[in-house]
Amino acid sequence: MAKEVLRRGYEPEFKREAVKLVKGGLSSAQVARDLGLKSNMVSRWVREAEADPAHSFPGKGVMKPDEAELDRL
């Protein structure tokens, strides 16, 4: 029997707080350990936040402005 893969979603505020901890001086690995996550996930969140700080982690059903424009077209 194949295992079901469950995708765990994290709230945008949770992601922002994790990024804030890294920006505050902790390593991605330490933040990940403290929060029970994989370090590559925290590192990805940091990269996403740095790439587009104003529109990172828009939430479920909410598109970034450029994605909304593409959808509209």
| Position 73 confidence tier, pLDDT thresholds 50, 70, 90 | low
| Position 2 confidence tier, pLDDT thresholds 50, 70, 90 | low
Q: What's residue 60's pLDDT?
A: 62
Q: What's residue 3's pLDDT?
A: 56
In the numeric block, which tokens belong to residue 42? 């925290």
Half-sphere exposure of 60 (CA within 13 A, CB side): 4
Give the whole-angstrom CA distance, residue 47 versus residue 28. 11
Minimum mean pLDDT range among 29-33, 39-43, 69-73:
69-73
Burial class (CB in 10 A: 0-12, 13-18, 19+), 55: middle
Give the whole-angstrom CA distance, residue 16 versus residue 72. 28
- Digit-coded pLDDT (tens) for 51-68: 877 767 766 655 566 665
